[in-house]
């Protein structure tokens, strides 16, 4: 583990920093200080397998708690709408520089507050580039301020007539990839592609056929619950064939791209027009977003504020710079490879115990466990595991009969426990613990006496046994070792 991770002992300086900070907080609102202490205790004592969560380094966490939080900085580096932004310029420029160098991207934008914000910036940048700019050229004007109200009415109609093709939610896509209740499904005419009914894998020929029929402006690739890698060169071929912009959401697997686990056709950055990501998850940074783009889209992405975003969170941009600097260290590549190796070990641990996995395994950072073979819904499985101290999240499986609320699956990711120092042997043990819980959980009943999709009954003693085994694993791989609060 690198010094940037949570796997090496902290010095007295770190403990003193957090003790002092909590004392200051407690003097104003002691309940917040106590909740903060309890959150650390809870995270230390649970097996965190949520694929979208991780543990940021103390340097990243401390960077967010500074006076950069007090500064407004709408605009871009060197071109702000507020005075005295020279220090914000420094940290935003550093975040963008580290992102460009880390991912090999021509352009990086560090202002998005979250992954959804990054996707909104990307969508509207694509609309501006492919709809608004041609409209201006057609009118012979230089900028949008020269358009009349009639021009704007025409332009709004053009914006509203555009099409998006993205991965369906049950196949592993994200809400922001065209899911109808999400803003992305409302601002575009949308259709979705899924996976092969037999293998659960992406069928690129089927995606190409749908793209030819639908002719989208935007083809979205990327996933939040698909346990395999994607051929982004093939996705770019599909986009080019129909004249679409290829946008890749790599929020979940950005750490594997940064760590050079995904290279060549599996690295989206050389192939996509626009790439979005979060900076937490497998990147192990602060909660926030990034947009990477080809030069063609740089000017449009730079309009993210005020086009979509409010004032940038300068303290979070500073933390992004620190996290991205950590990710540029050689040790991060070792960490990223360990994430993938551990996911394979977790999958193999399930398969040797006759569990059912979507696609039959994994080659990225997550495993999608179909719990219907245990007679459970995803909600029941998630709750039973939580009782035993295993933190997961329920997730749809392809063509899920239980829908997006109850689901038939549980998603498990390896980034967080890999940060703690878990290796393949520990993940095999984790698989055995999860199978023990699920195999001894029964569906509950409703008040009317019928079968329930939510309640469950876990056999006596199972939770205690699993918690005891979990405690041994966690003690051997402590979270923030050496960080002791007074």
pLDDT tens for the chain, 486 residues long, are 333 455 555 678 899 999 999 999 999 999 999 999 999 999 999 999 999 999 999 999 999 999 999 999 999 999 999 999 999 999 999 999 999 999 999 999 999 999 999 999 999 999 999 999 898 888 888 778 888 898 889 888 888 899 999 999 999 999 888 888 888 888 899 999 999 999 999 999 999 999 999 999 999 999 999 999 999 999 999 999 999 999 999 999 999 999 999 999 999 999 999 999 999 999 999 999 999 999 999 999 999 998 899 999 999 999 999 999 999 999 999 999 999 999 999 999 999 999 999 999 999 999 999 999 999 999 999 999 999 999 999 999 999 999 999 999 999 999 999 999 999 999 999 999 999 999 999 999 998 888 899 999 999 999 999 999 999 999 999 999 988 888
On whether both 307 and 376 belong to a single domain, the answer is no
Question: What CATH number is attached to the domain comprising 174?
Answer: 3.40.640.10
Is the residue at 3 inside a domain? no
Cα gap 162→381, rounded to integer Å: 40
Number of domains in the chain: 2
pLDDT at position 42 is 94
Tell me the residue range of the domain where 79 lies.
Answer: 69-327
Same domain, 254 and 397: no
- Both 246 and 370 in a single domain? no
Rounded Cα gap, residues 76 and 98, in angstroms: 17
- Same structural domain, 243 and 346: no
Q: How high is the pLDDT of residue 54?
A: 97
Claim to verify: residue 424 and residue 298 sit in the same structural domain: no
Same domain, 143 and 217: yes
Q: How would you label 184-220 residue by residue, b for 16+ Cβ within 10 Å and e otherwise? A: bbebbebbbbbbeeeebebbeeebbebbeebebbbbb
Residues known to be catalytic: 72, 74, 249, 278, 281, 287
Same-domain check for residues 120 and 228: yes
- Name 221's bridge partners: 248
Angle at 33 between CA 28 and CA 34, to 5 degrees: 130
What is the per-residue pLDDT across 74-118, written as a single tens digit (0 to 9) for each? 999 999 999 999 999 999 999 999 999 999 999 999 999 999 999
The angle subtended at Cα 481 by Cα 479 and Cα 483, nearest 5°, is: 105
Note the pLDDT tens digit of each residue in 246-302.
999 999 999 999 999 999 999 999 999 999 999 999 999 999 999 999 999 999 999
- Residue 445 in any domain: the answer is yes
- Exposure of 319 by Cβ count < 10 A (0-12 exposed, 13-18 middle, 19+ buried)? buried
């Amino acid at each position: 583990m690198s010094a940037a991770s949570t796997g090496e002992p902290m010095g007295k300086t770190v403990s003193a920093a957090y003790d002092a900070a909590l004392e200051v907080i407690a003097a104003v609102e002691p309940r917040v200080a106590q909740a903060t202490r309890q959150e650390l205790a809870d995270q230390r004592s649970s097996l965190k397998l949520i694929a979208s969560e991780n543990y940021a380094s103390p340097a990243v966490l401390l960077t967010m708690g500074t006076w950069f939080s007090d500064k407004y900085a709408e605009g871009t580096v060197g071109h702000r709408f507020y005075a005295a932004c020279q220090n914000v310029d420094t940290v935003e420029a550093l975040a963008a520089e580290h992102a460009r160098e880390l991912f090999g991207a021509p352009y990086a934008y560090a202002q998005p507050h979250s992954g959804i914000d990054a996707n909104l910036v990307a969508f509207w940048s694509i609309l501006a580039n492919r709809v608004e700019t041609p409209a201006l050229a057609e009118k012979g004007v230089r900028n949008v301020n020269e358009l009349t109200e009639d021009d704007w009415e025409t332009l709004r109609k053009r914006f509203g007539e555009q099409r998006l093709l993205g991965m369906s939610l049950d196949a592993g896509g994200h809400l922001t990839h065209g899911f109808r209740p999400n803003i992305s499904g409302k601002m575009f005419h949308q259709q979705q592609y899924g996976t092969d009914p037999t293998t659960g894998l992406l069928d690129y020929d089927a995606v190409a056929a749908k793209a030819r029929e639908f002719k989208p402006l935007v083809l979205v690739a990327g996933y939040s619950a698909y346990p395999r890698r994607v051929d982004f060169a093939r996705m770019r071929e599909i986009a080019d064939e129909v004249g679409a912009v290829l946008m890749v959401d790599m929020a979940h697997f950005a750490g594997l791209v940064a760590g050079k686990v995904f290279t060549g056709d599996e690295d989206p950055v050389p192939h996509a027009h626009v790439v979005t990501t979060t900076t937490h998850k497998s990147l192990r940074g602060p909660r926030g977003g990034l947009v990477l783009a080809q030069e063609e889209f740089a000017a449009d992405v730079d309009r993210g504020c005020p086009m979509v975003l409010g004032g940038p969170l300068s303290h979070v941009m500073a933390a992004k710079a620190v996290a991205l600097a950590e990710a540029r260290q050689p040790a991060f590549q070792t960490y990223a490879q360990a994430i993938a190796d551990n996911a394979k070990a977790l999958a193999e641990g399930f398969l040797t115990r006759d569990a059912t996995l979507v696609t039959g395994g994994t080659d990225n950072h997550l495993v999608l466990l179909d719990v219907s073979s245990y007679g459970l819904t995803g909600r029941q499985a998630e709750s039973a595991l939580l009782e035993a101290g295993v933190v997961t999240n329920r997730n749809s499986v392809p063509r899920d009969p239980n829908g997006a609320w109850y689901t038939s699956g549980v998603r498990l990711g390896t980034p967080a426990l890999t940060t703690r120092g878990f290796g393949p042997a520990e993940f095999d043990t984790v698989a055995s613990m999860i199978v023990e819980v699920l195999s001894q959980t029964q569906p509950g009943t409703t008040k009317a006496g019928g079968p329930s999709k939510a309640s469950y009954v876990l056999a006596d003693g199972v939770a205690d046994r699993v918690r005891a085994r979990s405690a041994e694993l966690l003690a051997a791989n402590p979270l923030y070792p050496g960080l002791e609060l007074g």
